[in-house]
Chain A
Amino acid sequence: MNEPAGLAATGGIVRPYGDTTGDGMVQLSFTLPIPHDARAEGAALQLAGKMGMAPAMVVHAKAMSEGFTFFVVYGSVTHLVDVSKVEVIEREYPLLPAKDVNAQIKRTLRRKLVVLGACIGTDAHTVGIDAILNVKGFAGEKGLEYYREMRVLNLGAQVSVPELVHRARAERCDAVLVSQVVTQRDAHLRNTRELSAAFREAMGTRRPLLVVGGPRFDPAMTDELGVDRIFGRGTTPGEVASYLVHAMGQHRGGAR
């Protein structure tokens, strides 16, 4: 083979690489819910074929539990990847490890970032705000309490909006995080509008960052609800922390 490997030689079209350019080799493991026998191995090859692997080899098959078989399959895929057509969806902020979040707060604020969290209205479901704030965290990520450069105050459930505004002021907080689970008659939207209106009235442009989250929010509704950011289902503490330092960078002088 005389052609140099890489994009230039293939015009942006690539295939997986085993040990030779263009061999298209991949490995795959999966379980089928059938007992291990010759038919099961045939079934595994059929699946590999439908996934674009040709030829494919079952290199390992093992009965597992009752009525299941685990397979490892190697083979060449017939598919091509056009790198020039790959679209990358950019998040507006980079995801940072806790260490970098702390360093950035230290550098830009030269004091701790103060975060206030609560569930407002009659919502007693603190699962969301606790997952983001408690050290215990969520999805293998530690909560914001874990960040040395943040001072986190979790007010818990059923906090009234005036109380929240009062505490935000008293604690000179940088960001207010509110989670909303209950969505009966759009309570989450009503509560959020009440929240943003109250902060606007009390503090104007010097209000803290307002961040809401919950499983039924549409992240595109920030303007409509008057908040800075909306997080949906499955958000992890690391995403929130990364967003906060990003937003503080943009917002400097605005808050407080």
Chain B
Amino acid sequence: MTIRPKLGLDGRTVRKARRLAQRATAPVVELAKTHTTVSVERAVLRLAGMTGTDPTLGSGEIPWVNRVVDTVRDQVGLEYGVALPVWHELRTGGYSSLDDLAEKVGSGSVQFAVPTGKDRDRAARAALAAARLGLSNIDRRRKERDRLIRRIGDPKQRPWIYLIVATGDIYEDIPQAQAAARAGADVVAVIRSTGQSLLDYVPEGATRQGFAGTYATQENFRLMRAALDDVSKEVGRYVRLTNYASGLCMPEIATLAGLERLDMMLNDSMYGILFRDINPIRTFVDQRFSRMVHARAGIIINTGEDNYLTTADAVDEAHTVTVSQLLNEAFAHEAGLADWQLGLGHAFEINPDIPESFRLELAHAMLARELFPDAPLKWMPPTKHMTGDVFRGYLLDGFFNLIGTMTGQGILLVGMMTEAVVTPWLSDRDLALQNVRYVLNAAGGLHEDFRPARGGFIAARAKQVLTEAVDLLDRIVDDGLLNAIADGTFGITKRPADRGRGLEGVVRRADGYHNPALELMEATGE
């Protein structure tokens, strides 16, 4: 569904906003290009096929990729990347495979070196071949998705209906996800266990215990994708699977998502910094790599602007959502993502007690729609003002759905009237879907008739938010994005660049740094 522009936004202001976003992000991109992180390096090994955990360490939860990257770092540093020392050792040390090398690292019998001269060239070539094989696996999964969508079909309507599953046990999640698909979900998201974003490794295997969510692991990804493939054929539409590339292991999780044909990933440029106190540089370096993988894998990213509105006032701070969307877009384009892959987030979080709250919501949603006409925006339901009064909550969700269809949102996260009361019951989900269906059925074409009055409340409000966004972007460009984050410009938390979790995993690249995955992805991205 394409929606014709109706707000009469000033084209010059829109272009200025984009230009400022580009200028604000450029120095941070430069930082990302001159640093690496332990997780980026581990992702290279994962792409080359290294799997499994070291059974002798702790209770066997630490992956080999962590052991190998940590060992390389201890012995020769990561300034040149992990690929050169690993593939040099693999070539010259008489190992049968990458996994064999990992096990020898575990036993402590490997001494890594950074190769030079011809040895370096040979190691780089071998690493490139291994990374190329990994990327071709991701390419194959992408083609497989395209084929399945051609054969089975896309959902008939937009927005796509997005439902969440979260039991902590992958074997419980699977029947729930299939039931959600049968009930009408076009997208199923498996919420992660609380705190996974702060783990500096990706857990392994099928997991049955999580805290308010299920661990993101390669095996869990595989199991769920296979289950949704089955149900897709049954319901006659390709049901998409979503997980989270956020936290300390973004690059690795993005890689695993590409390898297991996940379809959407939560991947915000600043969420980890603001809400999880992850070091800003770590986040931006990891994020760039993860977005390049998503671009390659044909994955749609979902950004997290809804989170700003749960901590700040949705009216006063509306422009911070616009600014974040523009920054997310600039970072995403730089990493090679196309507009159709940008599920930019925004949310229905204005206090329903304030006058004209619906018109304000509509103005904000239309602004997002018109600023990003080719992006499948992700429209997030009310949470902050869901009070436990389930009746009022059901009405709010109806108004939320109405804006979803009036403004041509691409992805609609289904709101639950029991938000903040219980994890959704079977009946809550069913009632919520009835609500969505009623609104889409009753008002699906309303956008054709609806046009806000020229210079009226809605158009004026959209213009005001855009103007405030441009002013804030101006200040960010002057200040520098990292300083703005340090000063608490977004949300209310101050996050200095030299603090936060995961900083110890950031390494400045040396001349001669080699990352075969980045090299191949950058070559195709240009």
Contacts and interface: CB of A to CB of B under 8 A. Distances in A.
Given A127-B194, A146-B311, A154 B430 contact: no
Interface stretch (A133-141, A165-173, A242-250): A133-141
Interface of A: 29-31, 62, 64-66, 68, 70, 126-127, 130-131, 134-136, 138-140, 142, 145-146, 148, 154, 156
Given A29-B427, A126-B195, A142-B310, A135 B501 contact: no
Given A29-B427, A65-B183, A130-B195, A146 B383 contact: no
A126 to B, nearest CB: 6
Interface string B189-222: 0000011001000000000000100000000000
Interface stretch (B73-81, B148-156, B270-278, B467-475): B270-278
9 contacts: A30-B427, A65-B183, A70-B431, A130-B195, A136-B275, A136-B307, A140-B419, A142-B311, A146-B493
Contact of B492 (A68, A126, A148): A148
B179 interface: yes
A145 B493 contact: yes
B276 A136 contact: yes
B426 A31 contact: yes
B508 to A, nearest CB: 24
Interface string B489-502: 00111000000010
Contact of B427 (A70, A135, A140, A142): A70
- The prevalent SS among residues of A at the interface is mixed
A64 B195 contact: no
Given A127-B211, A148-B492, A65 B383 contact: no
A68 B176 CA distance: 14
Given A126-B195, A126-B198, A140-B383, A65 B426 contact: yes
B91 interface: no
Contacts of B310: 142
Nearest to B419: A140
Contacts, number: 54
Interface of B: 179, 182-183, 194-195, 198, 211, 274-277, 307, 310-311, 383, 419-420, 425-427, 430-431, 491-493, 501
B383 A135 contact: no
Contacts of A138: 194
B231 to A, nearest CB: 12
Contacts of B194: 127, 131, 138
Contact of B430 (A70, A140, A146): A70
Given A135-B274, A135-B311, A156 B427 contact: no
Contacts of A31: 425-427
A140 B427 CA distance: 21
A140 B198 contact: no
A131 B213 CA distance: 14
A65 B198 CA distance: 36
B275 A134 contact: yes
Contact of A64 (B274, B430, B491, B493): B430
Contacts of A30: 427
Given A65-B179, A65-B182, A134 B427 contact: no
A154 B426 CA distance: 38
